[in-house]
Amino acid sequence: MEKLKPPVEKNEYIDVAFEDLTHDGAGVAKVNGFPVFVQNALPGESGQVKVIKVKKGYAFGKLIKHHTISEQRVEAPCPVYKQCGGCQLQHVSYEGQLQFKQKQVKDVMARIGHLPDVPVHSTLGMNDPWRYRNKAQVPVAEREGGLVAGFYQQRSHDIINMDACLIQQQANDDVVQAVRSICEKHDVSAYQEQKHKGSLRHIMARYGLVTGEIMVVIVTRTAELPNKKRIIEDIIEAVPNVKSIVQNVNSKRTNVILGNQTNVLWGEEYIYDYIGDVKFAISAKSFYQVNPEQTKVLYDKALEYADLTGEETVIDAYCGIGTISLFLAQKAKKVYGVEIVPEAIEDAKRNAELNGIHNAEFEVGEAEVVIPNWYKQGIKADVIVVDPPRKGCDEALLNTIIDMKPKKVVYVSCGPATLARDLAILEKGGYETVEVQPVDMFPHTTHVENVAVLKLK
């Protein structure tokens, strides 16, 4: 068979119209059906593009100039938007972002899930989609004798200084600036990645949205911290709501931010926050949703879909620190949570106790192993909630669900493509996807979270 020749060549200049966005926010133009991906181009726009790389089934281009501009294009408010790469959609109006996310989910439902008719609702967005993140983790470097704290320039390990991150809680920005200047004043050296020398690696801040409590985490290469006492005094003075100051020691050559050893320098080991009525204890290393306001929106939807009367047995697979389990436990007879990370299960148990919730049980292990065991022991759920990582559910788990036949499955997902794939499997196994609700947990990024509900046919 003759190989189809791509209709574009490297270094060629072409005039194109953009008709779509990829899942990572690049514009898509088609040349005789052949897709060309171009950064900073939006559907509805046209422009001149230089072809920079040609692959078998697609090409990459660089936008040279716009011919027409989309109504949804806005000026990105962040001055370092392009260098940072943490956000990908600041050049799109917020309304446009929500529409883009809904369309992306609709597309994968049709293409991967073979569910072209399943209702995908409008994305639930934030009233104020800025300064939502409750956790900052900022790398530190030395420049001209002083310290800079900011972000890694895209595709490099150079740290660019940053005074403000517009998706970060203001309190976290303030902590980072204060701790940077306090450490500078007390001659703390910055970690040098190349030489594996120096001390201060990252400044981390965690913020309880409801409680206003703040945790400061100083991540250093060794346990030693010069002028420790004065650093602590200065932080207490500079950060009004600080409840916890901890040092985390990470002595490894690694991109992983936190090491194994955490020492409380002052105050508590935990700060607290609420999602709805449920109180959570958060340590330096605890997993906790980064946008608690939208987490509430997402879990309220999951709870609505679960439609509990108080009589049900519920399984929460991939339960993390038990966030969804504890939400559901208030409305169910019994909840079983399973999660692979032992520390998360410890947090889940602590959080259950903290809230006086006694009808939730947690087990460490792989959902695809633990849930089939439960089933063998006679545990049968009326409702199963799953909230897997981006790669989706293990097929063994989906098969157990199909055997166990809960009346409802509520699927919380951070990966639309794997959600669609897994829905198709459950549909074959006797379930019907009733509807899908996208929720915007991460405004200005391309991430989209969904909750879907299925009922037994």
- How, if at all, do strands 261-267 and 271-275 pair? unpaired
Is residue 320 close enough to count as binding ligand SAH by CB under 6 A? yes
In 173-326, DSSP assigns E strands to 200-207, 214-220, 242-249, 261-267, 271-275, 278-282, 313-317
Let me know: does 202 contact 175? Beta carbons within 8 Å.
Answer: no
Q: Which C-beta is closer to ligand SAH: that of 6 or that of 337?
A: 337
- What would the two tokens of residue 305 be? 């879909």
State the nearest-atom distance from the C-beta of 324 to ligand SAH, in Å: 5
Interior/surface letters 320-337, b for 16+ CB within 10 angstroms, e for the rest: bbbbbbbbbbbbbebbbb
Exactly one of 366, 375, 425, 429 binds ligand SAH (CB under 6 A); that residue is 366
Is residue 8 close enough to count as binding ligand SAH by CB under 6 A? no
State the nearest-atom distance from the C-beta of 439 to ligand SAH, in Å: 12
Distances (CA, A) of 283 to 58, 214, 235: 46, 11, 18
Exactly one of 92, 183, 329, 344 binds ligand SAH (CB under 6 A); that residue is 344
414 is catalytic: yes
Is residue 165 close enough to count as binding ligand SAH by CB under 6 A? no
Let me know: does 150 contact 160? Beta carbons within 8 Å.
Answer: yes
Is residue 339 close enough to count as binding ligand SAH by CB under 6 A? yes
State the nearest-atom distance from the C-beta of 285 to ligand SAH, in Å: 13
Q: How far is CA 396 from the centre of its chain?
A: 25
Consult the annotation and say whether 289 binds a ligand: yes
In 318-388, DSSP assigns E strands to 334-339, 360-364, 383-386
Q: What is the DSSP letter of 197?
A: B
Q: Which C-beta is closer to ligand SAH: that of 64 or that of 341?
A: 341
**324: β partners:** none
Q: Which C-beta is closer to ligand SAH: that of 185 or that of 349?
A: 349
Is residue 318 close enough to count as binding ligand SAH by CB under 6 A? yes
Residue 103: partners with Cβ closer than 8 Å, 6 or more residues away:
none
Q: Which C-beta is closer to ligand SAH: that of 159 or that of 324?
A: 324
Cα–Cα distance for residue pair 19/104, rounded to 1 Å: 13
Exactly one of 347, 387, 422, 449 binds ligand SAH (CB under 6 A); that residue is 387
Q: Which C-beta is closer to ligand SAH: that of 21 or that of 410?
A: 410
Is residue 338 close enough to count as binding ligand SAH by CB under 6 A? yes
Q: How far is CA 208 from the centre of its chain?
A: 17
Cβ neighbours, 10 Å, residue 285:
16
Q: Which C-beta is closer to ligand SAH: that of 18 or that of 362?
A: 362
State the nearest-atom distance from the C-beta of 386 to ligand SAH, in Å: 9
State the nearest-atom distance from the C-beta of 297 to ligand SAH, in Å: 13
- Looking at beta carbons, which residue is closest to ligand SAH? 320
Consult the annotation and say whether 339 binds a ligand: yes
Burial of 310 (0-12, 13-18, 19+ CB in 10 A): exposed
Is residue 319 close enough to count as binding ligand SAH by CB under 6 A? yes
**267: β partners:** 244
Active-site pick, 165, 183, 393, 414: 414
Which stretch, 110-118, 231-239, 366-374, 423-431, contacts ligand SAH (CB under 6 A)? 366-374
Let me know: does 429 contact 455? Beta carbons within 8 Å.
Answer: no
Is residue 367 close enough to count as binding ligand SAH by CB under 6 A? yes
In 76-156, DSSP assigns E strands to 135-143, 146-152
Let me know: does 271 contact 214? Beta carbons within 8 Å.
Answer: yes
Is residue 448 close enough to count as binding ligand SAH by CB under 6 A? no
Which stretch, 199-207, 239-247, 263-271, 385-393, contacts ligand SAH (CB under 6 A)? 385-393
State the nearest-atom distance from the C-beta of 340 to ligand SAH, in Å: 4
Consult the annotation and say whether 387 binds a ligand: yes
Segment holding 300, helix H or strand E: helix 292-306
State the nearest-atom distance from the C-beta of 375 to ligand SAH, in Å: 15
Maximum alpha-carbon separation in the chain: 75
Which stretch, 88-96, 217-225, 261-269, 315-323, contacts ligand SAH (CB under 6 A)? 315-323
Is residue 324 close enough to count as binding ligand SAH by CB under 6 A? yes
Let me know: does 443 contact 100? Beta carbons within 8 Å.
Answer: no
Cα–Cα distance for residue pair 398/54, rounded to 1 Å: 39
Q: Which C-beta is closer to ligand SAH: that of 113 or that of 320?
A: 320
State the nearest-atom distance from the C-beta of 418 to ligand SAH, in Å: 12
Q: Which C-beta is closer to ligand SAH: that of 368 or that of 382?
A: 368
| Interface ranges with ligand SAH (CB under 6 A) | 287, 289, 318-321, 323-324, 338-341, 344, 366-368, 387-389, 394
Binding residues for S-adenosyl-L-methionine are 289, 318, 339, 387
Binding residues are 289, 318, 339, 387
Just list the catalytic residues.
414
